[in-house]
Amino acid sequence: MPDETHYGVAAAEAAMSSRDRWPRIKPQDGERVRFHFLTDGSDPWLVGTKFHKIGEFPNSRDIVCTQALSQGNEACGFCDMDSTNRRNMFACWIWTEFILHPHDNPDEEGEAWEQKQLALPNGRKLAVFKEDIKKPQLLWLPAGKQKAWWSQFTTAWMTSGNLRRHFYELHRIGGGRDDTNYILTTVKEDPLADDILQLDEVKNLPNIEDIFRETLRFTPTTGLLGTDSLDGATPEDLPTVSTTAASTADDDLI
């Protein structure tokens, strides 16, 4: 029997309204995304706000809280249902240069990724496989427990004054709901090239607020879920985070 979730009005609306229609970066366990920020940290290409989780897993959706997004200027019907059921999320546009994978390309018909040795800060070397990307992508993440993941981005901005001034790595550790951690590190001082900002595919990127508001177009009919486990943890439950530079060398790949 064919999978009926791929057709019909409800499925079409979900597909067209989903944030996944944007070129979104989704790092998996062990992957290291090397990128430049397209946002400078103080423009509409970076937004953080609160979301309501609507529907039952695995068909639940994160719907933006219009009251939070508008700083109280707009009403939010979901807050009327349950004002406590909100979690912090943020998104920004980045220019992904490449991804370092812990394994080669799993697609047997695809090109093999170039094998490299990654020099770690402790002096060890790690075998990785480099997939070149070189395109704009949407980075969308929960803020984490006690905003631990988000705090790494605010620290990077306060340190640099302009997120475009450095080259960064986002390393995902863990693949499950409860064991995942994201670590943002500064690889080196390497400003975003001006010609990248002049590309049509970059200049025409939408504001993050507009993307967040698109979530309002799809609302499952099932009820609200409880608060997400990534928010509201006690301090001792926080994931380990690091803002220490991964390397000051021109290139830590051998």
Domain range spanning residue 151?
Answer: 4-237
Q: How many domains in the chain?
A: 1
pLDDT tens-digit series, residues 134-190: 999 999 999 999 999 999 999 999 999 999 999 999 999 998 877 899 999 999 999
Task: Give the pTM.
Answer: 0.81
Cβ neighbors of 199 (< 8 A, separation 6 or more) are none
H or E segment to which residue 158 belongs: helix 148-160
Which tens digit of pLDDT belongs to each residue from 108-128? 899 999 999 999 888 899 999
User: Does the pLDDT of residue 16 top 70, yes or no?
Assistant: no
Q: What are phi and psi of 107, to 5 degrees?
A: -80, 110
Q: How would you classify the pairing of strands 32-37 and 87-101?
A: antiparallel
Arithmetic mean of pLDDT, 61-79: 93
Evaluate whether residue 248 is within a structural domain: no
CA-CA distance, 115 to 103, in Å (whole number)? 9
- State the pLDDT at residue 238: 35
Domain-located, residue 212:
yes
Q: What is the pLDDT of residues 189-234, one digit of tens each?
A: 999 999 999 999 999 999 999 999 999 986 654 455 444 444 443 3
Residue 29: CATH number of its domain: 3.90.198
Asked if the structure places residue 253 within a domain, the reply is no
Is 47 inside any structural domain?
A: yes
**If you ran DSSP here, which 8-state letter would residue 70 be given?**
T
Q: Token pair of 240, please? A: 């380990």
Residues 6+ apart with CB under 8 A from 75: 66, 67
Angle at 101 between CA 100 and CA 106, to 5 degrees: 140
Please indicate, yes or no, if residue 211 is contained in any of the structural domains: yes
In this prediction, residue 249 has a pLDDT band, given cuts at 50, 70 and 90, of very low
Residue 46 is assigned to a structural domain of this protein? yes
SS3 content of the chain, % helix, strand, coil (to 5): 25, 30, 45
Tell me if 81 sits within 8 A of 224, measured CB to CB: yes
Task: Identify whether 249 is part of a domain.
Answer: no
